[in-house]
Structures are given as structure tokens and as C-alpha cells.
Structure 1
Amino acid sequence: MKDQDYRFSVAPMMDWTDRHCRVFHRHLSRRALLYTEMLTTGAVIHGDRQRLLGFDRCEHPVALQLGGSDPRELAEAARIGEAFGYDEINLNVGCPSDRVKDGRFGACLMAEPELVARCVEAMKRTVAIPVTVKCRIGIDEQDPEVALDALAHAVVASGCDALIVHARKAWLNGLSPKENRNVPPLDYDRVYRLKHAMPGVTVIINGGIAGIEDAKAHLEHVDGVMLGRAAYQEPWRLLSVDREIFGEAAPHATMQDAIEAMMPYIEQQLVRGTRLHAITRHFVGAFHAVPGARAFRRHLAEQGVKPGAGLEVLRDAIAHVAARAPAEAA
């Protein structure tokens, strides 16, 4: 198995990084590691697996993020994910939503490092692909110097292949999930100290990273960078990832080229009954500082949601964009 390259990845984001979003991102970067939305173990084991887990082969490398806290259930869900062809299984120990907390998974597990370690161990015994953990630096009144080290040492001892750290605390009491994404202060230095203390462990940093230049600066201190909202809301940034991070050419020179290259995929999806808006909603931030970008967004918003909307709507929207700008300004 080829070693996973963790230098750059796009964060798992609920309601955002679905299969259509990931296909779009893959047309912007060949090398970025992509992640699914979080799926609970119950959904994976008992739900419609093809609907929940199915993905296009072009998405590789792509990781499945799981939510859960029962080692046996996580092992079974990981086995299913591996059988579907995912390149990595990631355990969510960072999501602060009430629904996640009530289900005893997500960020609340920062308080139970030994349980997380047992979960990782169970998955590692079951699958041959990497098993990783995404966490916060701590929760509520925890001391991040103690909490993050405790979790890191526990999961690494259990075989965890990489640790992805969102460099903020999560406040499970007092802040909403939305507030937890930006109110707790960022502490990148805490993640740097973890890497310095555990040089043999693959550490990826996440949280508040604005773009590729910021990512390159973080790579001076850690093994990888995970971009979240900036990658989704401003996908044009991904056009420079392969060149700036990996020293390779981008798959497409312009955003227009990337979207047009998706046309066959979109056509296939429409034939299967997928509504155009389910795909084009991921294109809203595709153009930046390009004449016609606002008209592009408006046309998709007004026409793409209509029943029966087809490729002609997308083509008409692209026609509003005046210039085939290079990747830097697409």
C-alpha cells in the first residue's frame, strides 16, 4: 500500500463535503486528500450503504470519517468502509454539536482518551488501511497542555497513523456548534509543540487557515495542513494546491476548464435523478475577482433550483464569466 501523503487535505464538513463536492475538488487538485462528511457507525452498519458510502473512483485518495465510541461498532464500520474502497478511516473526536455529544461521540471523547485508544485499536485490528483521529486541543475547562498530550499518547500507542488537530478548544457548554468554529481562540503553537514533542508522529493542523500561503507557513512546523471553510467557500484556492504544495501541475488551468470537465459526471448524475442544484451548490464560490462572478452565482441560484434544470443552466451561468483567468485569480 502506498503511504498516504498528508501534506494537504480538505476537511470533512457536515452538509458540505458530499460526493459531488469531492468530485469538484478533485478536478481542482489531483493530490489533495479528501474526506467524507462524518457518518455514524449506526448509519454505516444499518443504513443504505450505497447511498451513504458510494463514491466516484476519481475521488481517490478519499477518507471515510466515522462518528462513534463503541470499539466493536467502529471496527465493523471501518471494515465496511475499507470494503467500499476508502483509503483511510478517520475517527471524529472534534465535532461539538449537541447531537454528537448526546450520542457520546465527537469532541466529548476528548475527556475519554483511553476509550478513544480502544476504538483505534479495534479498527487497526480490522483494516489494513490507515486509521487516523481528528480532535481538538481540549474541551471546556481542560488544560490543552495536558488534554492533547493525553489523547495523542493514548491513540498513538494504539496504532493511530496520523493525528489531525483543530487548533481550538471546543466548549460543549455555552457555545453553539457554529460559535465553536470561530469563537474559541486559535492556538497553533500548541499543535507545533505536540509535533516537536512527538517527532515520529504524523501531525496535521486544522482551523482558521485562510489559504495556500498560510498552509505553506504551517508546513514549516507540522506534517500536513487541512483546509476547511476556505476550501469550500473559496474553491478557487484549490487550483494552486498541486503547484504550490506538491510541485506539480494543476489538473486544469482555469476554473471554467475544471467545471466543464465535470460535465460528463453531472450528466450521469442527472440521468440518475440527481437535481442539478445538488451539484452546482458547491460552485457558488468558484470565481473570485472575475468579471461576471456575481451573475454566475445569481443564474445558478435562480435557474439551477428549478425542477428539470439541466446542463444548459450551468453552461449559461459559465457564459456570464468574462475571462478565462489563470489559476491564481480564477
Structure 2
Amino acid sequence: MQRQSTSAARVSQAARLSVAPMMDWTDRHCRYVHRLLSQQTLLYTEMVTAPALVRGGALHLLDYNPQEHPVALQLGGSDPQELAQAARLGAQAGYDEINLNCGCPSDRVQSGTFGAVLMKEPERVADCVAAMREAVDVEVTVKCRIGVDDQEPEQVLPDFLQAIQAAGCQRVTIHARKAWLQGLSPKENRDIPPLDYDLVHRMKAAFPDMHVSINGGITSLKQAQAQLEAGLDGVMIGRAAYHQPTDILAEADVRIFGAGQVADPIDVVHKMVPYVERHLANGGRLHQITRHMLGLFAGRPGARAWRRALSEGAVHDGAGPEVMLQALDSIAPLAEV
């Protein structure tokens, strides 16, 4: 997919609010739904490993719809030259940003010596960033934790940020929790280690020239606005943006970016019809898309019936967009809510 990337200035502006890369969730269908809710928010792919692209030739992992811009590719890896090759493939595909994962704590990631374990090797990360920047014209960014295991975040995080900044990284997203590589599952690592928002704010003060986004535990636009007003450059939201996408994204363009209009999720469903039809014509199945739409009406009358209708109807052979449209019968228009 050859396309000129969105300008660096626009991508940096879009990073005021972003949807976190989430394995098995933020695929291209999910991102298309999110883009219909917000035209401005920066969207991230699931993590794609550099070996899968470079050694495995799995270029289908780079597929996306041009309407997803601005959209960033997150890579996992630890070999500078392999990451440089993967970044080049991502830039050639038209991604607006290449992000290096230094925060995922899963066993599979650790065994590949990348993800959160890289917090222990800031110089290696710096080498990776430098090699990636040399290979591409789009911005190279990093997503990290505040530390891992018995590291003291107050000591290791400044050293980590200094190393990647010296390598040319000007934008970082910090998940404001430690990652425990032994003893906690990836799910537990998202909840159990305590959040330290104050440390992230101190890092912004210590690195005023870096674009610093915060991630972790933020579940509403109100909370995101508070972080921005307190001096951070951006906020990344994960699970809340997936499970309650309308709550997070429908008003984002107006409240976070001061532009655009509030999206109506009913309109989003109707706009998904041609997208679904194209997907089905190419051999896809309805549930591959609608599984990402279950939360569109979270908290709204009829939401449970909507979820049930999609969950039960979309898995049948031959299911098409009529399943979505019929499920809308359970949802009252916004004016009536």
C-alpha cells in the first residue's frame, strides 16, 4: 500500500490522544471503526514483530485502509538491523509513525528479548532507535514502562529516556506502571503494579523537549483532559477505548482537538455497511469486524440486546450487514436517550 504519510506535525498533534496497540484487538477492522468515531485520534496497530516481517515475509500484517490515517505501526524486536528493515517496510506501506515496543511483559516477548525486558538495556534500545531512524523518514517513537522487576523507576527511567533521546527519539509514551517479568501474567501486569502518574509528570519536566504521552488506567476523556492540562503532551487509552469506544472517541475531536463534531454511533454502523460488504466480497466473515463493534453502545439503553444480536448473528455462514442493521432496532436514537 503505497501512500504518502501524514505530515509529522499532524501526527504529533494527533498524539494528544491515541488508542493503545492491543494484541488481538486493534487490528485493521477495529481501527476502521475507531476512525469513524474520531477523525483526529492517533491509532496504533497491534504489535508486529520484526522477525515476522523480515524473516517470515508476513507482509499481510501491514495491511490497512487508507482512511485509518493517521496510523502508527508498532514493532517488536531487539536487533537494530532487523528492526531497521521492518521499519522500512512499514514506511513503504505508508504508516505515519514507527513505534518500538519496550513495554509488553508477555513470556513470548521476553523469550525474543524484546518488549518490557528492553527496559534493562537502554543502550540497545538507543541502537535500535538510531538504526530505525536511519532507515525511514517518518518519526520513530518508543512505548515503555517506568521500569521492570526490582528496578528503581526514579533512577532507571531518566537514564532510559536520555538514551533514546540521544538516539533521536523525540516522542515517547510511558505506561505509568512497572512490569513484573516474573510472577505476574500480562493481564495482571495491566492492573496490579501501582500507577505512578507523578513520575511521568516529573519526566516531562526533566525532558521538556520530548513529546511525552501517558498510558495506564485512564478510562475517560475527562481524565485525559486533566493529564493534558497538567502539562503532558499526550494521553494513550487502551482497554476503555476498546470496550467503550463511543465514550472515548465520539467526542474526542471536539474536546481534545477543538475541531470536528461529535460522532453518532448509529451513523457509524450505517457507514460500516460498505466496508463490511467489501470484506465479505473478499472472502471475510462478518464476526471478524463486528466483534470490535460490541461496545459501540456501552451504557446506553439497548446495549445488551445489541451485543447479543451481533454475537449470535454474526457467526452464522452468510451473515451480512443486515445483522448489524437489525441489531440497531434495539438502540434508541441519541435524541431520545
TM-score (normalizing by structure 2): 0.94
After the TM superposition, which residues 224-303 of structure 1 pair with which residues of structure 2 at under 5 Å, given as runs?
A: 224-237=234-247, 238-250=249-261, 253-303=263-313
Match of 1:122 among 131, 141, 162: 131
**Residues 244-274 of structure 1: CA deviation (Å, up to 9, x unaligned):** 0011123x63100012112111110111111
Match of 1:8 among 17, 28, 33: 17
How far, CA to CA, are the matches of 1:222 and 1:324 in structure 2?
33
After the TM superposition, which residues 90-129 of structure 1 pair with which residues of structure 2 at under 5 Å, given as runs?
A: 90-129=99-138
How far, CA to CA, are the matches of 1:17 and 1:286 in structure 2?
15
Q: CA deviation at 1:50?
A: 4.3
Question: Do the aligned partners of 1:254 and 1:325 also contact (CA within 8 Å) in 2?
Answer: no
Match of 2:90 among 78, 81, 84: 81
Partner of 2:212 in structure 1?
203
Partner of 2:161 in structure 1?
152
Question: Do the aligned partners of 2:8 and 2:138 also contact (CA within 8 Å) in 1?
Answer: no
How far, CA to CA, are the matches of 2:291 and 2:204 in structure 1?
37
In structure 2, the CA distance between the partners of 1:265 and 1:15, relative to structure 1 (3 Å rule), is: same
How far, CA to CA, are the matches of 2:292 and 2:115 in structure 1?
25
Q: Does 1:184 align with 2:175?
A: no
Q: Runs of 5+ in structure 2 lacking a partner?
A: 1-6
Partner of 2:3 in structure 1?
none
How far, CA to CA, are the matches of 1:200 and 1:165 in structure 2?
15
Q: Does 1:27 align with 2:36?
A: yes
One-letter identity of the residue aligned with 2:197: Y
In structure 2, the CA distance between the partners of 1:119 and 1:200, relative to structure 1 (3 Å rule), is: same
Partner of 1:58 in structure 2?
67
In structure 2, the CA distance between the partners of 1:325 and 1:206, relative to structure 1 (3 Å rule), is: farther
How far, CA to CA, are the matches of 1:78 and 1:97 in structure 2?
22
Q: CA deviation at 1:48?
A: 5.0
Quote the sequence identity (%): 56
**Residues 72-100 of structure 1: CA deviation (Å, up to 9, x unaligned):** 00000000000000000000000000000
In structure 2, the CA distance between the partners of 1:323 and 1:310, relative to structure 1 (3 Å rule), is: same
How far, CA to CA, are the matches of 2:318 and 2:153 in structure 1?
51
Question: Do the aligned partners of 2:28 and 2:64 also contact (CA within 8 Å) in 1?
Answer: yes
One-letter identity of the residue aligned with 2:304: R
93-102 or 241-250, larger mean C-alpha shift: 241-250
SS in 1 for 2:252: helix
SS in 1 for 2:39: coil
In structure 2, the CA distance between the partners of 1:172 and 1:271, relative to structure 1 (3 Å rule), is: same
How far, CA to CA, are the matches of 2:68 and 2:328 in structure 1?
24
TM-score (normalizing by structure 1): 0.96
Q: Does 1:305 align with 2:318?
A: no
Question: Do the aligned partners of 1:280 and 1:300 also contact (CA within 8 Å) in 2?
Answer: yes
Partner of 1:137 in structure 2?
146
How far, CA to CA, are the matches of 1:247 and 1:175 in structure 2?
40
**Residues 180-233 of structure 1: CA deviation (Å, up to 9, x unaligned):** 001000000000000001111110000000110000000022100001101001
Q: Runs of 5+ in structure 1 lacking a partner?
A: none
SS in 2 for 1:168: strand
How far, CA to CA, are the matches of 1:298 and 1:288 in structure 2?
13
How far, CA to CA, are the matches of 1:215 and 1:38 in structure 2?
23
Question: Do the aligned partners of 1:53 and 1:81 also contact (CA within 8 Å) in 2?
Answer: yes
Question: Do the aligned partners of 2:306 and 2:330 also contact (CA within 8 Å) in 1?
Answer: yes
Question: Do the aligned partners of 2:32 and 2:65 also contact (CA within 8 Å) in 1?
Answer: yes
One-letter identity of the residue aligned with 1:143: E
How far, CA to CA, are the matches of 2:157 and 2:263 in structure 1?
41
SS in 1 for 2:298: coil
Question: Do the aligned partners of 1:291 and 1:323 also contact (CA within 8 Å) in 2?
Answer: no
In structure 2, the CA distance between the partners of 1:303 and 1:226, relative to structure 1 (3 Å rule), is: same
How far, CA to CA, are the matches of 1:161 and 1:319 in structure 2?
48
Q: Which 4+ stretches in 1 moved above 3 angstroms?
A: 46-50
